[in-house]
C-alpha cells in the first residue's frame, strides 16, 4: 500500500479495467457488474488511465489481448471515474512496473488505516458508478 493517494492522477480522468465475464449478471433484462468488479484480494485492483491508452478502442487493441492471454473466455471492460473511486475513500497510485513499465497502469487500493472489510464494502460499491462495455 502506498503512503498516500497520488493526487497527480486527476479527478476528471477515467479508469478502464478488464474483468471476468462471470462478474457480470443479468438483472431485469439488463447486464450489470457484480460487487467483485473492483475488488482484489491483494487490495490492489489493476486499471489503466483511459485517456493514456487511446480510449476504449486503444485499450482493446493494445492492452486487452495481453490481459486475456490464453483465456478461452472474452474479458469484459469496465470504466469508472477517478472522482468516484476517491469518493469511496479509496486511493490510487501509478504502478507501471506491474504492466511493462506503462505509466498508464493505475492501482485502486485501500487508504491508510482502512480495514479489509471496509475496503471490500467500498470497492464493492464502485460497481454502481461503473459503465459496462
For residue range 73-87, what is the model confidence (pLDDT) as tens digits? 788 899 999 999 999
Mean pLDDT of the chain: 90
Domain membership of residue 9 (yes or no) is no
Question: Helix, strand or coil for residue 104?
Answer: coil
**Which residues 6+ apart lie within 8 Å of 75 measured at CB?**
18, 19, 20, 21, 64, 67, 68
Distance CA 16, CA 49 (A): 6
User: What are the tens digits of pLDDT across the range 76-120?
Assistant: 899 999 999 999 999 999 999 999 999 999 999 999 999 999 999
In the block, cell 490492489 appears at 44
Are the C-beta atoms of residues 103 and 53 closer than 8 Å to each other? no
Domain membership of residue 41 (yes or no) is yes
Residue 1 confidence (pLDDT): 58
Domain membership of residue 67 (yes or no) is yes
Domain membership of residue 65 (yes or no) is yes
Share of the chain above pLDDT 70, in %: 95
What residue numbers bound the domain in which 109 lies? 14-21+31-132
Domain membership of residue 5 (yes or no) is no
Distance CA 79, CA 131 (A): 5
Domain membership of residue 66 (yes or no) is yes
Give which of 114, 132, 118 is closest to 37, Cα–Cα: 132
pLDDT at 71 over 80: no
Quote the pTM value. Answer: 0.90
> Residue 109's beta-bridge partner residues?
44, 91
Number of domains into which the chain is organized: 1
Give which of 71, 77, 72, 46 is closest to 59, Cα–Cα: 77
Domain membership of residue 63 (yes or no) is yes
Domain membership of residue 4 (yes or no) is no
Amino acid at each position: 500500500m502506498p503512503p498516500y493517494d497520488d493526487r497527480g492522477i486527476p479527478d476528471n480522468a477515467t479508469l478502464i479495467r478488464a474483468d471476468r465475464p462471470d462478474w457480470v449478471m443479468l438483472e431485469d433484462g439488463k447486464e450489470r457488474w457484480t460487487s467483485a468488479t473492483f475488488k482484489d484480494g491483494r487490495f490492489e485492483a489493476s486499471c489503466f488511465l483511459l485517456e493514456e491508452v487511446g480510449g476504449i478502442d486503444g485499450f482493446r487493441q493494445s492492452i486487452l489481448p495481453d490481459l486475456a492471454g490464453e483465456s478461452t473466455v472474452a474479458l469484459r471492460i469496465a470504466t469508472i471515474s477517478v472522482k468516484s473511486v476517491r469518493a469511496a475513500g479509496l486511493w490510487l497510485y501509478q504502478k507501471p512496473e506491474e504492466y511493462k513499465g506503462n505509466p498508464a497502469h493505475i492501482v485502486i487500493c485501500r487508504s491508510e488505516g482502512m480495514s479489509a472489510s471496509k475496503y471490500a464494502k467500498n470497492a464493492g460499491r464502485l460497481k454502481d458508478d461503473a459503465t459496462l462495455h
